[in-house]
Structure 1
Amino acid sequence: MVFFATILSFLPLLSFATAYSAINDDTLKNFPTPSDEFDIDTGSILAPILRPRVSGTEGNAAVRQHMVDWIKKELPEWRIELHNSSSTTPLSKGKKIPFVNIIATRDPPNTRVGDVGRLALVAHYDSKVAPAGFIGAIDSAVPCAMILHAARSIDKALTKKWEAMADNLDALDEQKGVQILLLDGEEAFVTWTATDSLYGARALAEEWESSFHPAMSTYHTPLDSLDLFLLLDLLGGASPTVPSYFKTTHWAYKHMATLEHRLRELGLFKSSPNHPSKLAERNNKKRKEPYFLTEAKKKDKNFVGGMVEDDHIPFMARGVEILHIIPTPFPYQWHEITDDGAHLHMDTVEDWTRLVTAFTAEWMDLEGHFDIGSQKRTEHAEKSELEIP
């Protein structure tokens, strides 16, 4: 990805906020953490991704197979597709290189093709050609692992919710699904240009735009079915700050910022200087709380430029609403050989994972469907937003 400053023309947003309800504190406290699964050497989710995986190489194929196998085992109710395309690159000497996107989808039961709107959880899984041996831990092995963990964390609750809705004809009008998009070919082979980057994303967006659902469907194409494209990138370094890039999805950014605030207030963010384990060492003296999402109070007039070119570009150009979670400034290890497992900030990795899980759970209206014992509704769950400092 590259940083790109421009004046943006914003399309009107059909607000999905009315379908978004908060989850309570008990739920937040009881989300599973990745723990050993994110161990950089032995973790069953993350470790197999931490290797060079340039598009078209053996490493790329091995990582793809690992993630497909993991989804089949851990998310058996999800429908898996592989989207294939090919293209020449500046290094391929006229030979076409294969690019393979992984698509995993879970929709409500008994819904028709074209009638389900989806939250897409998106990251790229390929890595850069140079420097030699580049791993790409933050870019974007960790975001891929976060998405897989978040999907599994909500999967049983989805089942319970949809089973509870089976006899409620009014509830069945709500047809929301969730989709994982692990994209190939994001990285440039030589220098970032419109043609040397985003290979998998460009091919998928183009195909989905011209693949039509049956007549009278709620959504005309798979592209139309994307209610929100939540793109994660460069996550896993210490002390990230993520701006709100797009006015039309600032409402969603604020929802995620509210969740971050609540998680910090509950003492659940391990990277926080005020985490209970660190307060005990300082005789409970609190420090100023840093935030990942720093622009919850951004005004409409301030959305006048600044975005980062990434996998969302071909989708945004076709009208898809984007929530881009990528730090600015970029982490110090961006595109350096130091972007490996050893240079991850694991407390921050765990905090992002919890936050993405919570956001997904709220989007899918899963409060009351998690197996955590008491599911009493708290005051937090009655509010759509919390005052954010």
Structure 2
Amino acid sequence: MLLPTALLALIGLLHPSLAYAPLSDDTLQQLPSPGDDFDIHKGAILAPILRTRVSGTPGNAQVLQHFIDFFEKHLPHWEITLHNSTSTTPVSNGKEIAFVNFIATRDPPGSKVGEVARLALAAHYDSKLTPHGFIGATDSAAPCAMILHAARSIDMALTKKWESAEGADDLELEEQRGVQILLLDGEEAFKVWTDDDSLYGARALASHWESLPHPTLSTYRTPLDSISLFMLLDLLGSSSPNVPSYFRTTHWAYKHMADLETRLRKLGAFKSSPNHPTKFAKRKAKNPKAKPRAEQPFLVDANKGNNEFYGGFVQDDHVPFMARGVEILHMIPTPFPRVWHELDDDGEHLDMDTVEDWTRLVTAFVAEWMELEGFFDFKEGKRKDEYVATGKSEL
């Protein structure tokens, strides 16, 4: 990932018919925490990703299998697709290296191809070839884990929402919305970042989807056209991230996410906040006159004006999609974390409070996008998790 020097000309706005409904404070506070699933040594979601996983290697294949197993076990209603491509690299001596993108999609039941607008949640799962032994916890094992947890957290609410309707055919067009997860392979350069040595999986997938037409007269012409918003997570998991709003046309979505962050902080649900109840209580115990401290938001550009977008952005997996007209919301800090492309970008150097906060924030954003208020049953979700843990297949 490099900061380009060229400016990007941005035109157009998100489709005005897209709906977005806030969650209640009660729902925000009850969104499930990943808990032990994010334990860096034995957590069921995060630990299997915290390993070297260079594209074309056994470690990469094992992480891909982890994704497949997770969805098959916990999220059977999601459609899994693997997109395969090959390419030579500057270090492969002419040998074709395999790149495999993992795609999981959940659309309303009975919906037709080309009639569903989707929120795409994306991250790359490969790790960098050098330095030898590089893990890439923020880059991007933790973001992948955040997305898996978010998908599991909203799954039952999606089912309940869609079952409450008379049928997909009775839903208004703006209700024909789904969620798509893109865990992309080959983001990292093998030698030096160039247009050819980077984004291998993303470039192949964007090109393939551009040339894959939906049936004639479909509302959305191609799988690319079906993406209402491409939200890319990268380099998340270090403390005190500073994430700008990069694109004017998706600033409205950024502002929704910033509003969620503000609400979560006020509700005491952000573990990294200096005013989280446990931290504030400790300060009060030492100093009864202690007062709340100033909050340092992750999303720093909530009040950014339209005339303050100058076109700079960070090169990442979104670029091939953006070049084809897809709207992008890029969740990546500037400056990059101190551990960027260093050996200590590993599990031990993750700030787990920050990881959990990002996870809750992403989950809440997806739930609001899909208008899931009123469809969560947190007791039922807990019972289902307990059954899975005991190996039972039915409630």
TM-score scaled by length of structure 1: 0.94
Partner of 1:264: 265
Q: CA deviation at 1:42?
A: 0.3
Q: CA deviation at 1:167?
A: 5.3
- AA aligned to 1:347 is D
Q: Note if contact 1:40-1:46 (Cα within 8 Å) is conserved in structure 2.
A: yes
In terms of mean alpha carbon deviation, does 301-310 or 318-327 score higher?
A: 301-310
Partner of 1:349: 355
Partner of 2:132: 132
Q: CA deviation at 1:285?
A: 1.4
Q: CA deviation at 1:46?
A: 0.4
Q: CA deviation at 1:16?
A: 4.7
Q: Note if contact 1:165-1:172 (Cα within 8 Å) is conserved in structure 2.
A: no
**Structure 2 Cα separation of the partners of residues 168 and 213 of structure 1:** 19
1:196 counterpart = 2:202: no
Distance 1:314 1:18, change over 3 A: closer
- AA aligned to 2:272 is S
1:223 counterpart = 2:229: no
Q: Note if contact 1:82-1:101 (Cα within 8 Å) is conserved in structure 2.
A: yes
**Structure 2 Cα separation of the partners of residues 359 and 367 of structure 1:** 12
1:155 counterpart = 2:161: no
Deviations along 1:113-171, one digit per CA (max 9) or x if unpaired, are 00000000000000000000000000000000000000000000000000011258653
Partner of 2:388: none
Q: CA deviation at 1:71?
A: 1.1
1:365 counterpart = 2:371: yes
Deviations along 1:227-255, one digit per CA (max 9) or x if unpaired, are 00000000000100100000000000000
Deviations along 1:52-105, one digit per CA (max 9) or x if unpaired, are 000000100011001111111111000000000000000000000000000000
- AA aligned to 2:56 is G
1:291 counterpart = 2:291: no
Q: CA deviation at 1:281?
A: 1.6
Deviations along 1:311-347, one digit per CA (max 9) or x if unpaired, are 0000000000000000000000000000000000000
Q: Note if contact 2:136-2:345 (Cα within 8 Å) is conserved in structure 1.
A: yes
Q: Note if contact 2:14-2:327 (Cα within 8 Å) is conserved in structure 1.
A: no
Partner of 1:94: 94
Q: Secondary structure at the match of 1:69?
A: helix
Q: Note if contact 2:139-2:234 (Cα within 8 Å) is conserved in structure 1.
A: yes
TM-score scaled by length of structure 2: 0.93
- AA aligned to 1:98 is A
Distance 1:100 1:168, change over 3 A: closer
**Structure 2 Cα separation of the partners of residues 182 and 364 of structure 1:** 20
Q: CA deviation at 1:15?
A: 3.3
- Within a 5 Å distance, the mapping from 1:60-139 to structure 2 comes to 60-139=60-139
Partner of 1:181: 182
**Structure 2 Cα separation of the partners of residues 343 and 3 of structure 1:** 24
Partner of 2:332: 326
Partner of 2:383: none
**Structure 1 Cα separation of the partners of residues 118 and 274 of structure 2:** 36
Q: CA deviation at 1:222?
A: 0.4
Q: Note if contact 1:27-1:372 (Cα within 8 Å) is conserved in structure 2.
A: no
**Structure 1 Cα separation of the partners of residues 17 and 171 of structure 2:** 17
Q: Note if contact 2:14-2:228 (Cα within 8 Å) is conserved in structure 1.
A: no
Partner of 1:10: 10
Q: Secondary structure at the match of 2:329?
A: strand
Q: CA deviation at 1:172?
A: 4.5
Deviations along 1:188-242, one digit per CA (max 9) or x if unpaired, are 0000000000000000000000000000101010010000000000000010010
Distance 1:16 1:357, change over 3 A: farther
Partner of 1:376: none
- AA aligned to 1:287 is R
Runs of 4+ aligned structure 1 residues displaced above 6 Å come to none
Gaps of at least 5 residues in structure 1 are 374-389
Q: Note if contact 1:38-1:46 (Cα within 8 Å) is conserved in structure 2.
A: yes
Q: Note if contact 1:17-1:251 (Cα within 8 Å) is conserved in structure 2.
A: no
Deviations along 1:279-320, one digit per CA (max 9) or x if unpaired, are 112225111111000001111111013210000000000000
1:238 counterpart = 2:244: no
Aligned residues: 373
Q: CA deviation at 1:2?
A: 1.6
Q: Note if contact 2:9-2:311 (Cα within 8 Å) is conserved in structure 1.
A: no
Q: CA deviation at 1:18?
A: 4.6
Q: Note if contact 1:154-1:361 (Cα within 8 Å) is conserved in structure 2.
A: yes
**Structure 1 Cα separation of the partners of residues 363 and 16 of structure 2:** 19
Q: Note if contact 1:11-1:319 (Cα within 8 Å) is conserved in structure 2.
A: no
- AA aligned to 2:186 is G
Gaps of at least 5 residues in structure 2 are 285-289, 380-395
Q: Secondary structure at the match of 1:309?
A: coil
- Within a 5 Å distance, the mapping from 1:36-51 to structure 2 comes to 36-51=36-51
